[in-house]
Amino acid sequence: MLDFLFYCFLGILFTYIILLVLILMGDCDLYLQFASKFGKKPSALKGKVVWITGASSGIGECLAYELAKAGCKLCLSARREQELNRVKKQCLLHGNIKEEDILVLPLDALKFETHSSATQDVLKYFSKIDILVNNAGRSQRALFEETSLDIDREVIELNVLGVLSLTKQVLPHMLERKEGHIAVMSSIAGKLSAPSSASYTGSKHAIQGWFSTLGVEMSDRNIKVTLLCPGPVFSNLLETAFTGKAGEELKGKMESSEKRMSTPRCAELCALALANGLDEAWIALNPVLLFTYMFQYFPNLSRVGSKRMGLKMLKKIREGKV
């Protein structure tokens, strides 16, 4: 009996060591790692109609390229029509789709009153919406004490209420068809306590709450809900980020030496998460990925450790400087 328990202990210990090694060597969570090796490829989405907001730059732009290569039909939305047309051109050059398979639909996520007509425009053009990718949003950088309530309100309206508004327009169509997929660009900041960006972090925690609940409610109605949680990624995110004052942009620049994931790699992993219908996907390099696991499974210990590390070190980690 003792020998049996000993070998069980060794087996469990060996399993945990393997999982830890995979986490340390990986750039995404274990479920997504498994899906990338043994699951469906993005090509499984061929022919699906995908509506991407915030498609004019960053992750949204690169995700459009990934899905175009997979053969998806795309609706590209953002405020800047000229940039959307540029993305469309690249999709046609490198993708597996025709010009009629792409709809450029300018959209301001903050103009909630236009979301209903925009949804109808997509349905009129494609007759259906298979996947909605809520990607539009902005980051924020300032200490809690330096952030005005006006900024809190602006961040919540864009990152949360804008996402809810569009989803509430598309969801009835999916329920009527009895199939669909809602994806939301959350963040690792929605899983952790990211310093110097309380408004942004709070908005992503809110997204996690709203859409994880939606996922439970839709679990027996054939509607998938995926929360995409990237960590530090190279993009123009810092240029347009809110600060602590209304009407001000950070105008920050990312340095090539920073430890951030490339935008195309992040988009590739997002496409894999969509193809496999994952509930949640963590997409980050280490040490951020390891921190996410620590906060998920050892929250109290992780909070004590993060406080001891100090604000300066935590800011360096979240900006890819460690």
Strands (E), the chain: 49-53, 73-77, 102-104, 131-134, 180-185, 223-230, 280-283
pLDDT in tens, 223-242: 999 999 999 999 988 899 99
Measured CA to CA in angstroms, residue 81 lies from 24, 44, 88, 263 at distances of: 41, 29, 10, 21
Is CATH 3.40.50.720 what the domain over 29-318 is classified as, yes or no? yes
Asked if residue 71 lies in contact with residue 98, where contact means CB atoms within 8 angstroms, the answer is no
Q: Which of 7, 16, 125, 200 is catalytic?
A: 200
b/e sequence 254-266, b meaning 16+ C-beta within 10 Å:
beeeebbbebebb
Q: Which residues pair with 301 in a beta bridge?
A: none
pLDDT in tens, 249-308: 999 888 888 899 999 999 999 999 999 999 999 999 999 999 999 999 999 988 888 888
Q: What is the mean pLDDT of the chain?
A: 94
DSSP string, 2-51: HHHHHHHHHHHHHHHHHHHHHHHH-SB-HHHHHHHHHS--GGGGTT-EEE
pLDDT at 1: 64
* Cα three-residue angle 91-278-198, rounded to 5 degrees: 85
Q: What's the pLDDT band for 8 if we cut at 50, 70, 90?
A: confident
Give the domain ranges of the chain: 29-318
- Whether residue 42 is preceded by a cis peptide bond, meaning omega within 30 degrees of 0, is no
pLDDT in tens, 87-144: 999 999 999 999 999 999 999 999 999 999 999 999 999 999 999 999 999 999 999 9
Measured CA to CA in angstroms, residue 136 lies from 52, 108, 161, 294 at distances of: 8, 9, 11, 28
116/313 Cα distance (integer angstroms): 45
Task: Give the 3-state secondary structure of residue 76.
Answer: strand
- Asked whether residue 2 carries a pLDDT value surpassing 70, the answer given is no
Please give the distance of CA 6 from its chain centroid, rounded to a whole number: 42
188/173 Cα distance (integer angstroms): 30
Q: Is 293 a catalytic residue?
A: no
Q: Which residues pair with 103 in a beta bridge?
A: 75
Q: What's the pLDDT band for 161 if we cut at 50, 70, 90?
A: very high
| Alpha-helical regions (H) of 70-114 | 81-94
> Quick one: tokens of 288?
């951020």
> Quick one: tokens of 140?
């924020």
pLDDT at 237: 86
- Whether residue 287 is preceded by a cis peptide bond, meaning omega within 30 degrees of 0, is yes
Neighbours of 10 (CB within 10 A): 10
Asked if residue 145 lies in contact with residue 189, where contact means CB atoms within 8 angstroms, the answer is no
